[in-house]
Amino acid sequence: MESEIKSSYNPPDCSSEIFLSEFLSPIHRQTRHLNLAMGCPGVWARSSWRQVPAGQQPDFQNPEHVASVLNQIRSYPPLVSPGEIRTLRRQLADAEIGRRFLLQGGDCAERFDDCTPSAINQKVSLLLRMGLVLTSGLSRPIIKVGRIAGQYAKPRSFSHESKDGRLVPVFRGDSIHDFDTRQTDPGRLLQAYHAASLTLNYIRSLVAGGFTEVARASEWHTETECSRFENLAASVRNAMQLASAFGATSVAHESREIFASHEGLLLDFEEAMTRDDPETGEPFNLSAHTLWIGERTRTLGGAHVEYFRGIANPVGVKVGAGASPREIAELVKILNPNRERGKLILITRLGAKNVDAELPALIDAVRETRTPVLWCCDPMHGNTVKAMAGLKTRHVDAILAELQSTVAVHSEHNSRLGGVHLEMTGADVTECTGGGVSPEHLPLRFETYCDPRLNGTQSLNFAFELSRLV
């Protein structure tokens, strides 16, 4: 069976002269020919994904327009730096051994309309609030990674949906088409770049201005209130004042860094944002600090795995119910062949009822590869249900149940949960039930354009419960 799994991964066709002439530099072409002569397939290039099947890609109708847009994006400056990415990798390596903890969260699907100071401030504030809760509860630094500045595309299970009594293409994100018209337009990739750039610039200004420091926790505003957080923040301020009286100041800088992430879905865009580090020559995707491969696109031998196996960023992989342990083990070896710490994040999204049955085999299979990974829990996606009027929702109790089971299974199998991945917002939405939101409340402020998110209060309560469990 092991040989069958290995043989299912087919690197790009090395005999393709089109691939050699169109996509590789002269030096890469020489290397490629040497490998062909030696019978060694699978030399990676940022465009080698084009030689294998690519799922969930937009159906842009004008190839010349697409090519023009991508050339323009290639000419633009990077959005993040290799140095920032290396900093994140070092912190993720610490999380693997229990010295830090990863908090990754934000919108299911970002909208261009939300590229405003108030909206960005609220997203950052929620990450900071939750980070303070977790720092206090876990007694370790928290790595804060937003689903932000790039989460403009979504994979979907169906091609069409009913909207206002009409059958229309399903919404796949602002970088592909407008929510109202659903007309694909490659020019929206340029809008995605600019929206991400504006968002990251504003976040950097917040960090540089000291907004993310714990001493300014009273300024981290969201639309919802949580008395438990306010009490904690007051206690932290008092402790900092006492520490300052004794000359200690380092605690004030704990919450400074905010990293950006998104699902690396649109491979044309991700390739255009891949640049070689001038110091080391390593290829980095400089559209985000870290990216993940979704449950629908992690196919062995598929284009997303082919692309992601070559970049130097830390990479996440979503792992849903029914995933083959041996297939996940093979993915681990492909995506982290050098067994580096801080390189690979496995994000389980199994559903509360499946954790006890499926997670132990996944842990054992990955352990057999002797490859370090950071285990992360996404307790949202596996617990989605249909509620009244066809609205999708998730119950807070099911989300917490998956978290609790995941923590317990890792503990029982001498493993470690090193992070969580959430869809959440600081807005006072009514999208997930529980925690003060009943099914009848869902239509009141159901504002997501895709999947339901925890609101600010639900998110903070989750953080307090996570602190208790871990």
Please write the tens of the pLDDT for every residue from 388-408.
778 999 999 999 999 999 999
Report whether 193 contacts 272 (CB < 8 A): no
Report whether 409 contacts 370 (CB < 8 A): no
CA 124 to chain centre: 15
Q: How far apart are CA 81 and CA 153, in angstroms?
A: 22
The answer as to whether 4 is a domain residue is no
The answer as to whether 254 is a domain residue is yes
The answer as to whether 26 is a domain residue is no
* Total residues belonging to the chain: 470
Residue tagged 């629908």 (tokens): 296
What confidence score (pLDDT) does residue 389 get?
A: 76
- The counts of H helices and E strands in the chain are 14, 14
Tell me which residue of 130, 123, 87, 94 sits closest to 107, measured CA to CA.
123
Please report which helix (H) or strand (E) contains residue 9, including its range: none
State which residues form the domain around 449: 44-469
Coil, helix or strand for 453? coil
Rounded to 5 degrees, what are φ and ψ at 179? Answer: -60, -35
Tell me which residue of 383, 356, 424, 345 sits closest to 125, measured CA to CA.
424
Residue tagged 């109708």 (tokens): 61
The answer as to whether 407 is a domain residue is yes
Encoded tokens for 117: 């100071």
Rounded to 5 degrees, what are φ and ψ at 414? Answer: 55, 40
The answer as to whether 328 is a domain residue is yes
The answer as to whether 97 is a domain residue is yes
The answer as to whether 17 is a domain residue is no
DSSP 259: E
Going by C-beta distance under 8 Å and a sequence separation of 6 or more, which residues neighbour residue 117? Answer: 202
- Residue 32 — pLDDT band, cuts 50, 70, 90? very low
Q: How far apart are CA 450 and CA 196, in angstroms?
A: 19
**Vertex 174, ends 171 and 175: CA angle to 5°?**
115
Residue with the bigger pLDDT between 313 and 240: it is 313
What confidence score (pLDDT) does residue 108 get?
A: 95
- Position 34 pLDDT exceeds 70: no
Rounded to 5 degrees, what are φ and ψ at 195? Answer: -65, -40
What confidence score (pLDDT) does residue 3 get?
A: 33
Rounded to an integer, the average pLDDT of 445-451 is 94
The answer as to whether 7 is a domain residue is no
Domains: count for the chain: 1
Q: What is the DSSP secondary-structure string of 220-240?
A: ---SS--HHHHHHHHHHHHHH
Coil, helix or strand for 400? helix
Q: How far apart are CA 174 and CA 189, in angstroms?
A: 9
What's the CATH number where 79 sits? 3.20.20.70
Residue tagged 């990798």 (tokens): 89
Rounded to 5 degrees, what are φ and ψ at 465? Answer: -65, -40
pLDDT digits (tens, 9 = 90+) for 332-372: 999 999 999 999 999 999 999 999 999 999 999 999 999 99
Bridge-based pairing state of the strands 166-169 and 160-163: antiparallel
DSSP 61: S
Encoded tokens for 287: 């559209």
- Residue 39 — pLDDT band, cuts 50, 70, 90? very low
Encoded tokens for 282: 């390593």
- Position 198 pLDDT exceeds 90: yes
| CA-based R_g, the chain, Å | 22
